[in-house]
Structure 1
Amino acid sequence: MYLSNQSLLVILFVGLVAGWLAGKIVRGTGFGIIGDIVIGILGALIASLLFPKIGIHLGTGVLSAIFYSVLGAIILLFVVRLARSGGRF
């Protein structure tokens, strides 16, 4: 698979927006800009694997990718927060 510079920038932008939005929704301490990008990209991977298997399809395009990524990042942040706090909020 070949990624152009433009598609890499789109992936990073979507990851940044998704990580930032998920951090605001979950109201965590934040992970910085690099951490937010990583959380957003991992959230997108989680969402792209999990949602189609349970039958959730929300459309196509950048806004749909951001929405999927935000939902996946929120799930990831909840799991990280549960792991850090020993299973309780």
Structure 2
Amino acid sequence: MCRPLLCAGFARGRITSLRRAVAEHARCEGLTGRRLEDFVLAVNEITTNAVVHGGGHGRLRLWAYGGRLWCEVTDEGPGLPAG
């Protein structure tokens, strides 16, 4: 069963606090050490990318499913050019 952990909108000034919240949820789900660091870094990079290239804000969903931790980041940007 899917277990929602976090659903939050974000903009430039909220990325640091969002990163902390993601790290705390990831720790509670059992991530430690390098895996935790890598997961939080990946989330930080994709949220920053959404702000810089995706219209200045985005939305993050974090959930646990099947013994794994999942994260989805969406934004309102124009997307990648065709080709």
Tell me which of the two structures has the higher relative contact order, counting C-alpha pairs closer than 8 angstroms and 6 or more residues apart. Answer: 2
User: Do both share a fold (TM > 0.5)?
Assistant: no
Structure holding more strand per residue: 2
- TM-score interval, normalised by the smaller of the two chains: 0.3 to 0.5
